[in-house]
């Protein structure tokens, strides 16, 4: 017997993958985990007659010789016991879009860096799907939509969009989907959200605005990730972490959400023993207080940015600069000759200002062109360090309406980074 399984606390992508997998493994039996996100649970209970499945208690494990894992690459996240894996060594197939080493080693492994696992199946079996019902199309599209936040996460790929278009053609119902993907908040969820909003923390780490809140949970609460999503939208931070503390069990559920594509939440979650995507992830930690966890997360955010592009990778050097006594006319010639739009002004090795094309607007008469730069330069200079993140630079530029930042290391000018350098980064035009 073949079974199709997915991770505990299944979301729509997990369940949609499970049912779309049936079009690939025709005789396999889908097994629904006992813990489901509440919106998935209500979807399945309303559509009970349309989706056939079993739960783990109703099957004889001894008869299972092949396990098809979907939307997870790790045995520890599914409900089948470890002892079954060790003693029976079933054949394992894995279909997933999460990065990382699969466990156990599968005999068939389908991985793609893509918005949802459902997309993997839709791509593979589109020919077999001509007969799918509008209900199935709706569920499958819910899977894609949930994991890509309605095709808006940066992890969304053309494949996700094509699969979504196909499912719409097959009658996926967007208003049904809307109801299930934006479920009403339960009173418990609302209380937690209000708790978090009472004193939302806000701090700067590595140029990101970060909020790390901790809330003590009374009893089990479904759908904490929805709460954190809402929270991060309201407080409008780049990165939000929620630490949900369950005192009796001395454990914390950590949920993270990144709204900038420069910061990878899953890298933090992996270090905490969990997992996820660049934009969202979670982890479960035992025996650590929320306070210690906060410090830990702060540290991980600080070092986490090291994997991404830093100012030192983007900046230009050596830097052309002028002295405060250089005349405006000489600067104008330098700009014309080299195509510059601005340069730092340096005196005794120290940056004392920046002169840019915009400052020439202050030149009213021809004779002023013989005046020194120091009369026109912008001396309220902002700097950036070589190990700062691109985000920090962009924020400084936007906030102060400037187009370039001198890069300073140990008091010395070592480079310059411009607005167009940062755009190159955002549009992935960096030379390798
Ligand atoms: Mn998924």
Q: Which domain holds residue 269?
A: 187-307
Range name among 133-147, 204-218, 233-247, 299-313 with the lowest pLDDT average: 299-313
Handedness of CA 372, 377, 381, 387 (dihedral sign): negative
Give the total number of structural domains in the chain.
3
Spell out the residues 6+ positions from residue 273 whose beta carbon is closer than 8 angstroms to its own. 283, 284, 285
DSSP 310: B
According to DSSP, residue 365 is labeled S
Q: How far is the CA of 13 from the centre of ligand 1 (A)?
A: 5
CA–CA distance, 260 with 142 (Å, rounded to integer) = 24
Q: How far is CA 355 from CA 98, 365, 386, 395, 406, in A?
A: 48, 18, 21, 20, 11
Q: Where are the beta strands (DSSP E) in 74-130?
A: 91-96, 108-111
For residues 39 and 223, is the Cβ–Cβ distance under 8 A?
Answer: yes
Same domain membership, residue 228 and residue 97: no
Q: Tell how far the Cα of 97 is from the centroid of ligand 1, in angstroms.
A: 7
**340 C-alpha to ligand 1 centroid (Å):** 47
Q: Which of 55-59, 186-190, 220-224, 332-336 has the lowest mean pLDDT?
A: 220-224
Q: Calculate how far, in angstroms, residue 127's C-alpha sits from the geometric centre of ligand 1.
A: 23
Residue that the structure tokens 């017997």 belong to: 1
Residue-wise pLDDT tens digits, 119-134: 999 999 888 888 889 9
DSSP state of 63: G
Q: Is the pTM of this model over 0.85?
A: no
Which residues partner with 343 through β-bridges? 355
For 246-283, the pLDDT digits (tens) are: 988 899 999 999 888 678 888 888 888 888 878 888 99
**Angstrom distance (rounded) from CA 262 to CA 144:** 23
Distance CA 31, CA 44 (A): 13
Whether 276 and 164 map to the same domain: the answer is: no
Instruction: Examine the domain organization and report whether 173 and 266 are in the same domain.
Output: no
Poorest-confidence range of 42-56, 233-247, 331-345? Answer: 42-56
Final residue of a structural domain among 181, 205, 220: 181
Per-residue model confidence as pLDDT tens digits over 74-88: 999 999 999 999 999
Give distance in angstroms: CA of 263 to centre of ligand 1. Answer: 19
Domain check: are 223 and 337 in the same one?
A: no
Give the integer Cα–Cα distance in Å for 391 and 12.
32
Helix (H) or strand (E) holding 40: helix 38-46
The verdict on 6 and 39 lying in the same domain is: yes
Question: pLDDT tier at 304 (50, 70, 90 boundaries)?
Answer: low
**pLDDT level of residue 432 (50, 70, 90 thresholds):** very low
pLDDT value at residue 416: 92
Residues 51 and 154 in one domain: yes
Determine the distance separating the centroid of ligand 1 and the alpha carbon of 116, expressed in angstroms.
5
Q: How confident is the model at residue 112 (pLDDT cuts 50, 70, 90)?
A: very high
Query: Distance from the CA of 37 to the center of ligand 1, in angstroms?
Result: 13
| Domain annotation covers residue 191 | yes
CA of 200 to the centre of ligand 1 (A): 29
* End-of-domain residue from the set 149, 181, 213: 181
pLDDT digits (tens, 9 = 90+) for 179-197: 888 766 778 888 999 999 9
- Do both 143 and 87 map to the same domain? yes
Instruction: Residue 114: give its domain's CATH number.
Output: 3.90.1640.10
Number of other residues whose CB lies within 10 A of the CB of residue 403: 16
Instruction: Show which of 118, 147, 181 is a domain's final residue.
Output: 181
């Amino acid at each position: 017997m073949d079974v199709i399984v997915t991770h505990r606390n299944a979301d729509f992508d997990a369940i949609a993958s499970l049912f779309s997998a049936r079009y690939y493994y025709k005789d396999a039996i889908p097994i629904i985990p006992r813990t489901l996100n509440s919106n998935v649970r209500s979807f399945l209970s309303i559509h009970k007659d349309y989706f056939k499945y079993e739960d783990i208690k109703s099957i004889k494990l001894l008869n299972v010789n092949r396990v098809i894992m979907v939307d997870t690459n790790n045995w520890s996240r599914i409900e089948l016991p470890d002892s079954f894996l060790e003693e029976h060594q079933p054949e394992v197939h894995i279909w997933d879009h999460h990065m990382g080493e699969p466990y156990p080693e599968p005999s068939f492994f389908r991985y793609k860096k893509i918005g949802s696992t459902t997309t993997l199946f839709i791509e593979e079996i589109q020919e077999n799907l001509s007969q799918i019902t509008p209900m199935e199309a709706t569920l499958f599209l819910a899977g894609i939509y949930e994991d890509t936040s309605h095709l808006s996460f940066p992890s969304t790929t053309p494949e996700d969009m094509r699969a979504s278009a196909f499912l719409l053609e097959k009658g996926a119902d967007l208003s049904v989907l809307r109801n299930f993907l934006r479920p009403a908040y339960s009173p418990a969820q609302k209380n937690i959200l209000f708790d978090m909003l009472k004193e939302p923390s806000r701090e700067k780490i590595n140029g990101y605005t970060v909020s790390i809140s901790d809330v003590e949970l009374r009893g089990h609460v479904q759908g904490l990730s929805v709460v954190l999503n809402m929270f991060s939208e309201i407080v409008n931070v780049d990165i939000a972490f929620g630490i949900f503390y369950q005192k009796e069990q001395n454990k914390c559920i950590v949920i993270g959400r990144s709204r900038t594509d420069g910061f990878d939440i899953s890298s933090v979650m992996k270090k905490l023993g969990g997992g996820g995507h660049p934009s969202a992830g979670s982890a479960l930690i035992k025996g650590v207080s929320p306070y210690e966890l906060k410090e830990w997360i702060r540290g991980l955010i600080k070092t986490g940015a090291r994997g991404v592009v830093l100012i030192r990778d983007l900046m230009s050097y050596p830097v052309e600069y002028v002295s405060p006594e250089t005349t405006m006319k000489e600067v104008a010639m330098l700009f014309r000759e080299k195509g510059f739009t601005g340069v730092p002004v340096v005196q005794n090795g120290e940056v004392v200002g920046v002169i840019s094309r915009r400052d020439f607007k202050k030149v009213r008469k021809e004779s002023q062109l013989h005046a020194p730069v120091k009369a026109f330069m912008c001396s309220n200079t902002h700097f950036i360090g070589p190990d700062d993140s691109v985000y920090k630079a962009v924020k400084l530029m936007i906030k102060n309406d400037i187009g370039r930042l001198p890069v300073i290391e140990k008091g010395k000018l070592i480079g310059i980074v411009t607005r167009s350098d940062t755009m190159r980064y955002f549009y992935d035009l960096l030379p390798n």
